[in-house]
Structure 1
Amino acid sequence: MNPSSRKKMWTAVVVSAALMTGAGACGGDGGGEAAGGDKVRITFAYWGSDARQKLTDQVIQKFEEKNPTIDVEGDFSNWDSYYEKIATKVAANDAPDVMSIEIRGLSEYAGRGALADLSGKVPAADLDQQVLTSGQIDGKQYAIPTGVNAFSMIANPSVLEKAKQKLPDDSSWTWDQWIGLAKDISGAGGVTGAEYNPNPAWLQIFAAQRGEKMYDGTKMGVSAETLKAWWSIHQRLIETKGSPDAAKSAEIGATGPEQSLLGTNAGAMGMWWSNQLNALSKSSGQELTLLRMPKAEGASTSGMFLQPAMFYTASAKSEHPAEAAKLIDFLVNDPDAAGILLSDRGLPTNAKVLAAVKDKLPPVDQKTLAFVDQVKSELSPIVAPPKGALQMEDILKRNTEELLFGKVTPDQAAQKFLAEANAAIAG
């Protein structure tokens, strides 16, 4: 997304939608029109890569085979344009019947009345109940988790071996040890030790290790001192050449897993969501390993958390809510759907479905499942962040890059970030 405020973007699309409506552009082009005969057409919006689009096309085809009276139109977007597109459609009363939304956007869209309450409409008894609660706002089930994952360290053992380094003991390693290992790998020549990822998930983990929350109601819970300590990790990685410089890191950060250092075999370690192990492994052609995140000195918790990869939600304005709910039901509760999607949207949260497809999972997905099972007892539950959290990635990335490029001091960056972040989530 453009670094400009999504709050301003929402206002702009509302005005634009009002003008469109006034010109007679009422009603959806796929949100409830008959598809011919007795068929109903619904639209399913999602973001992702070309690989996800192919899998989604397959799962839609399977759903239509089982539900011949329903046609599903896939509405695919890349990540950068997805929320702008959804915001425009929602503001124009033209929302897709089923929408993929990440946890940072849940409060935003539920609070605007854009999402239907799915309580009792999608069978949820076999879903992980703790994960299911993450899709609730004010006691209403606005979202159903697609699957689960954890923000983790991913390493290439063969690269470490060539650099004459060993995989760390991830049950006890620290950020200082990670920086030192990255430095040694880079120093051996050939590849870069690590790539940093200015994802809010990393900051949330680091803050938890220091006894702080990312969000405290409608204000930020992370302190300026923790921000500066977090940024110092980035700075030290660059100074020791454990990671690329600020310009190269920004360039790499604007791409996806396939173009990352890990994905192109140009790096040894990087932070990614556990369900991205598949894409990274395919791109690199290497056998990669999931690791726990390093800890701050003296930390009593890993800070890591189990999070829905994304949610399925239904439009509150859908003309065919029953069909929308049926599609979501299929996606999360049908083994045939899971057999197609595997871990693309996270490992299934339906225990029966996971058991049915477990043996069919390819080795890389088996590895992801084993890792999540191994660390699950150490992971904290996740709750939906406040409205405005969708802006956090842009705000954090912008302020991180300003610091790393030397445009501001750590104190200035921390003050600026907190001011912008608090304004975004103030409500």
Structure 2
Amino acid sequence: MKRILAATALTLLAVPATAACGGDDGGSDGKTKVVFSYWGSDARQKLTEAAIAKFEAKNPTIDVEGDFSDWDSYYEKLATKTAAGDAPDVMTIEIRGLAEYAGRGILADLAGKVDTTGLDQQVLKAGQVGGRQYAIPTGVNTFPMIVNRASVEKAGEKVPDDKTWTWDEYIALAQRITSKSGGDLWGTEWNRNPAFLEIFARQRGESFYADGRLGLSEQTVKDWWALLQKIISTKAGPDAAKMNETGTKVDQAMLATNDSAFGSWWSNQLTALTTGSGQQLDLLRMPKAPGAAGSGMFLQPAMYYTISARTENAEAARKFVDFMVNDPEAGAILLSDRGLPTNAKVVAAVKDKLAPADRKVLAFIESTRNELSTAAVPPKGAMEMEDILERATDSVLFGKASPDAAAKTLLSEADAALS
């Protein structure tokens, strides 16, 4: 998928600024058609179709055509349609692609076009590029540590105070859990997700991106790799080969298969992890570096709704986006599927309908809200960064390159991608 994202970025370079829309002024029945593109699972498709049906019932002159794809093919398909001048009227995109699409004139400025008065204004800013509101967040996520308390207690250990624990304490605890399990359980799983590195860097006062470039220092990247190497060498968690086997799919997570006690995943994945494990899972703050001023954790839009700059059905498209983010009836259907809603009225209306795991996420975000900053929109070229980071990380963990050499390669490739 990361290679597809990189190819998508190249495809976008050829996108004409005059890209047209996917809908038309009206069908034979006289209704206005809006094409809405999105990705996800079968479960998301069913929820979205139910939300569309509710919108159409409330807006009988508008027809919404869902253009659904799985994650692996979504961006490739969207880039191809956009390059051909057939952009959907309403497009779902994620934070890595926002600057890329906005910079090519593909997205409409939605300031004053969609009602955003009820949305979290700080999170709303994460939909801006160059001061213009090109995107409306669907909901928010954070990237916490997730724990299976029963597994920790079975190993004779206690879940630490997440307000004070450090990276070294986390690794030592995970190592003890692995050791006491007799090979039946890893203390922690780990991953190469850029959010993990971003939190680590923020604790050191660095940003992942700064002024359109990579904001990480070589030393911070090397220290993060040293952290991963310590997890592996102490057997607090599996080696890189084992972690590669689990992939990045939540249903393969070691937390979901009860093969680890700790792990870091996006908060909106807690329900899937809980369902897989069949056990109670809880969210914790990420460990901190000694002396760190803050946790480094942040709120990030799960994804965005955007509207084509060339849609012929702008008013209908705006009504649909407004419904999806502001209408409690839409919220009651979608719940936390696209992140927890940022509209306070929608949250209040759906709170009791949320799954127990989602209520935990909501409570966690509310309790840590004053500690969480808001994610900044990455610059153009960010679609390639996850692939660049993974290659460099693997080169270190598999012993193919020294941390010094790999860090230099990482920064060089990042400069090229973001230039």
**Aligned 8 A contact 2:33 2:65 in 1:** yes
Q: Find the counterpart in structure 1 of residue 261 from structure 2.
A: 268
* Corresponding position of 2:380: 387
Give, in angstroms, the shift of residue 11 of structure 1.
3.6
Q: 2:214 aligns with which of 220, 223, 245?
A: 220
Please, which of 101, 109, 121 is the counterpart of residue 109 of structure 1?
101
1:284 alignment counterpart: 277
User: What TM-score comes out, normalization by structure 1 length?
Assistant: 0.93
Residue 3 (structure 1) aligned with residue 3 (structure 2): yes
Taking the TM superposition and a 5 Å limit, the aligned residue runs for 1:88-103 are: 88-103=80-95
- 1:11 and 1:399 map into 2 onto residues whose CA distance is 21
Task: Establish whether residue 58 from structure 1 lines up as the match of residue 56 from structure 2.
Answer: no
- The aligned residue for residue 396 of structure 1 is 389
| Contact 1:102–1:311 (8 Å) recurs in 2 | yes
Partner of 1:376: 369
C-alpha deviation, 1:48, in angstroms: 2.0
Matched residues, number? 416
The Cα of 1:359 is off from its aligned counterpart by: 2.2
SS of match in other structure, 2:265: strand
Query: Which residue, 180, 194, 201 being the options, matches 1:200?
Result: 194
> In the aligned structure 2, how far is the partner of 1:185 from the partner of 1:52?
36
Q: 1:221 to 1:91 in 2, by over 3 A?
A: same
- 2:104 counterpart letter in structure 1: R
Match among 206, 214, 234 for residue 240 of structure 1: 234
AA in 2 matched with 1:110: A
Q: Deviations over 1:302-336 (max 9, x none)?
A: 11111111111111122211111111101100001
Distance (whole Å) between structure 1 residues aligned to residue 191 and residue 256 of structure 2: 14
Q: Which amino acid aligns with 1:406?
A: G
Match of 1:257 among 250, 258, 278: 250
AA in 1 matched with 2:3 = P
For the residues of structure 1 that align with 2:334 and 2:74, how far apart are their CA atoms? 20
* Whole-Å separation in 1 of the counterparts to 2:2 and 2:344: 38
CA RMSD of the aligned region, Å?
1.9
Alignment-derived partner of residue 347 in structure 1: 340
Deviation of 1:79 (Å): 2.3
Q: Structure 2: where are the runs of 5+ without partners?
A: none
TM-score (norm 2): 0.95
1:305-316 superposed matches below 5 A: 305-316=298-309
Contact 1:182-1:242 within 8 A present in 2 as well:
yes
Q: Is the 8 A contact 2:12 2:104 kept in 1?
A: no
Shift, 1:265, TM fit:
1.4
The aligned residue for residue 122 of structure 1 is 114
Q: Secondary structure at the match of 1:197?
A: coil
Measured in 2, the distance between the counterparts of 1:269 and 1:94 equals 45
Q: Which residue of 2 aligns with 1:39?
A: 31
Aligned-pair CA distance for 1:4: 7.2
**Distance (Å, rounded) in 1 between the aligned partners of 2:273 and 2:296:** 24
Matched AA of 2:57: E
In structure 1, how many angstroms separate the alpha carbons of the residues matched to 2:8 and 2:336? 32
Q: Percent of aligned positions with the same letter in both sequences? A: 59
* 1:376 to 1:13, Cα distance in 2 relative to 1, 3 A: closer
Q: Paired residue for 1:85?
A: 77
Cα distance in structure 1, aligned partners of 2:63 and 2:399: 53
Any idea what SS the aligned residue of 1:75 has? strand
SS at structure 1 position matched to 2:262: strand
Q: Distance in 2 between matches of 1:121 and 1:322?
A: 9
Equivalence for 1:325: 318
> How far apart are 1:383 and its partner, in Å?
2.0
Cα 1:96/1:102, change in 2 over 3 Å: same
Give per-residue Cα distances to partners, 1:64-94, cap 9 Å, x unaligned.
2222222222222222322222211111111
How far off is 1:144 after superposition? Answer: 0.5
Structure 1: distance between partners of 2:291 and 2:213 = 26
